């Protein structure tokens, strides 16, 4: 794997969780012999400033071509650490990674991002080359791994180790392409001919040249090939035909388990739900909510960002609390959205709370203590919060798009299969409509329907082993066949 994030060392979003959890699940399935993967599985990650490296670690120095270096190459340390189920390989290049912000700061992206992540990719490939270990698949993630595909074509096509390797690209977030302006393209160390007069779209070019490409749900794989939702990649993706697939993400069900979670007020499981009420009462206390209210608590956790629809939540918040629900929002991001949320919360402090931080434990208390979980995303390649919410007995209310459409079943449309509530339009009115249907089920004197929605969601198996691992192994196998 080559990626810019991997839990617990570096994470800003779902990418970090997925790189860690998928690698572990693949490594374990390989070790158990359930899939034909011979270890060790390596994950190449930048050693950012915030990554803590334990004393006594092993490091190897690799000579890596670097066009910005006076003699055309530089020595890069690659630190090996044992990850949980895989081997982490930190690319320790202080000039690129020992600074604030993985991708940029509040004043914008780092100007040399093409070079920085180019060096991540080139160091990974050079490490594999000098180790001369046969490698079947190099799996790269998002634009930060895209340059590896271009280097393969340019420099490793006939290489003994990497020449027969299949290169697979996973798109987690098509909104970021790694656009590189023409004057910076040379820093990537590619032969001439890449890009056009304006520059180089790293993600799109890697889409065109990888052996297989996927995104993280079947519905999003269809959506992203349309001009409305393709973010400039629809042509390139559609052009790959059946070499572009959708594989829904899983979640790590050991890490996300209300029966063992130490961060929540009480533990619970489908057959013993008292703990959930304790979590709910504790959350209401913590947030200063009116304890006498009979309505549900709705939670929302994530980046305050129009992609995630937090502006829609802000527009709907007044009506949601007026309908009898209470609302808690946890997240940081867009200052305008945060201000609007705070404004509504100030009018009803005992019914709405906004916490503008990144707090892993409070996120868990919200998953466990809420009755409903809101995700009105404008686009959502996969999403994992909706799966976590279901596992914690908190039916999600989601916009039916991407991975949300693939994982949440509307309880009114499908009374015997429902696990939450869904709506179609990206508007506050549509969100409020779905929340109102959920409130109706919650406050129905006959609680059996609500309990069934909760129980069905909790019993769904979102583990990587149950589905996605097989999907990735199949994709790797196809990519290898195509390559060879
Ligand atoms: C991105 C997507 C999200 C997905 C995650 C991991 O953050 O926006 O939908 O779950 O990547 O694949």
Best of 3, 15, 385 to mutate for ligand 1, by most ligand atoms within 8 A of CB? 15
* Of the candidates 359, 220, 222, the residue with the CA atom closest to the CA atom of residue 302: 359
Say what the pLDDT of residue 379 is: 97
**Structure-token match 């055309």, residue found:** 72
Say what the pLDDT of residue 252 is: 94
The structural domains of the chain, ordered by start, are 14-250+466-483 (3.40.50.2000), 274-459 (3.40.50.2000)
Which ligand 1 atom minimizes the distance to the CA of 403?
A: 9
| 15 C-beta closer than 6 A to ligand 1 | yes
Cα atoms in the Cβ-side hemisphere of radius 13 Å centred on 170: 29
- Residues 353-364 pLDDT 10s: 999 998 999 999
Say what the pLDDT of residue 327 is: 98
Say what the pLDDT of residue 30 is: 87
Q: Are 338 and 354 in contact (CB under 8 A)?
A: yes
Say what the pLDDT of residue 294 is: 84
Which residues, in sequence order, are CB contacts of 9 under 8 Å at separation 6+? 45, 51, 52, 88, 90
Say what the pLDDT of residue 358 is: 84
| 225 C-beta closer than 6 A to ligand 1 | no
Say what the pLDDT of residue 378 is: 97
Nearest CA to ligand 1 atom 1: 172
Strands 396-399 and 421-423, bridge-based pairing:
parallel
Say what the pLDDT of residue 292 is: 79
The number of beta carbons lying within 10 Å of the beta carbon of residue 182 is 12
Say what the pLDDT of residue 180 is: 98
Best of 249, 302, 308, 386 to mutate for ligand 1, by most ligand atoms within 8 A of CB? 249
Say what the pLDDT of residue 127 is: 97
Say what the pLDDT of residue 162 is: 94
| 172 C-beta closer than 6 A to ligand 1 | yes
Q: How far does the centroid of ligand 1 lie from the alpha carbon of residue 383, in Å?
A: 5
Nearest CA to ligand 1 atom 11: 172
Token pair of 470 as six digits: 């097989």
Q: C-alpha distances in angstroms, 460 versus 4, 95, 387? A: 30, 46, 9
The number of beta carbons lying within 10 Å of the beta carbon of residue 107 is 6
| 173 C-beta closer than 6 A to ligand 1 | yes
Residues of the chain scoring pLDDT < 70:
none
3-state secondary structure of 118: helix
Q: How far is CA 71 from the centre of its chain?
A: 38
* Of the candidates 135, 191, 122, the residue with the CA atom closest to the CA atom of residue 165: 135
Say what the pLDDT of residue 235 is: 97
């Amino acid at each position: 794997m080559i990626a810019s994030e991997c839990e617990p060392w570096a994470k800003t979003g779902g990418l970090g969780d997925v790189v860690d959890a998928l690698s572990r699940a693949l490594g374990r399935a390989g070790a158990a012999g359930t899939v034909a993967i011979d270890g060790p599985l390596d994950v190449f990650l930048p050693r950012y400033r915030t990554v803590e490296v334990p004393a006594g670690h092993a490091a190897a120095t690799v000579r890596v071509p670097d066009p910005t270096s006076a003699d055309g190459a530089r020595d890069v340390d690659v630190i090996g650490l044992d990850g949980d189920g895989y081997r982490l390989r930190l690319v320790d290049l202080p000039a690129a990674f020992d600074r604030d912000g993985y991708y940029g700061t509040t004043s914008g992206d780092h100007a040399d991002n093409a070079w920085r992540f180019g060096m991540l990719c080139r160091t990974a490939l050079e490490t594999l080359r000098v180790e001369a270990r046969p490698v079947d698949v190099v799996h790269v993630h998002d634009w930060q791994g895209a340059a590896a595909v271009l280097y393969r074509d340019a420099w490793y096509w006939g290489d003994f180790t990497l020449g027969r390797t299949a290169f697979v690209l996973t798109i987690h977030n098509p909104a970021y392409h790694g656009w590189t302006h023409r004057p910076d393209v040379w820093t990537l160390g590619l032969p001439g001919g890449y890009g056009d007069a304006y520059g180089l779209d790293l993600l799109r070019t890697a889409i065109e040249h990888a052996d297989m490409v996927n995104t993280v749900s079947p519905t999003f794989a269809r959506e992203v090939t349309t001009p409305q939702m393709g973010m400039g990649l629809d042509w390139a993706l559609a052009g790959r035909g059946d070499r572009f697939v959708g594989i829904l993400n899983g979640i790590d069900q050991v890490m996300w388990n209300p029966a063992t979670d130490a961060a929540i007020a009480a533990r619970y499981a489908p057959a013993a739900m008292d703990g959930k009420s304790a979590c709910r009462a504790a959350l209401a206390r913590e947030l200063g909510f009116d304890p006498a209210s009979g309505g549900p608590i709705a939670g929302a956790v994530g980046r305050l960002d129009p992609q995630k629809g937090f502006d829609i939540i802000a527009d709907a918040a007044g009506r949601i609390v007026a309908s009898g629900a209470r609302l808690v929002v946890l997240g940081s991001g867009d200052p305008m959205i945060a201000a609007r949320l705070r404004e509504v919360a100030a009018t009803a402090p005992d019914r709405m709370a906004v916490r503008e931080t990144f707090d892993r434990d409070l996120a868990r208390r919200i998953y466990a203590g809420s009755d409903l979980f809101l995700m009105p995303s404008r686009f959502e390649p996969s999403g994992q919060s909706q799966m976590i919410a279901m596992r914690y007995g908190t039916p999600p209310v989601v916009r039916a798009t991407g991975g949300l459409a693939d994982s949440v079943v509307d309880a009114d449309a499908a009374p015997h299969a429902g696990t939450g509530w869904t709506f179609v339009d990206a508007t506050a009115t549509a969100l409020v409509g779905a929340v109102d249907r959920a409130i109706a089920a919650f406050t129905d004197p006959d609680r059996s329907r609500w309990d069934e929605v909760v129980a069905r969601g909790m019993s769904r198996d979102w583990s990587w082993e149950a589905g996605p691992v097989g999907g990735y192994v199949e994709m790797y196998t196809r990519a290898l066949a195509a390559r060879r």
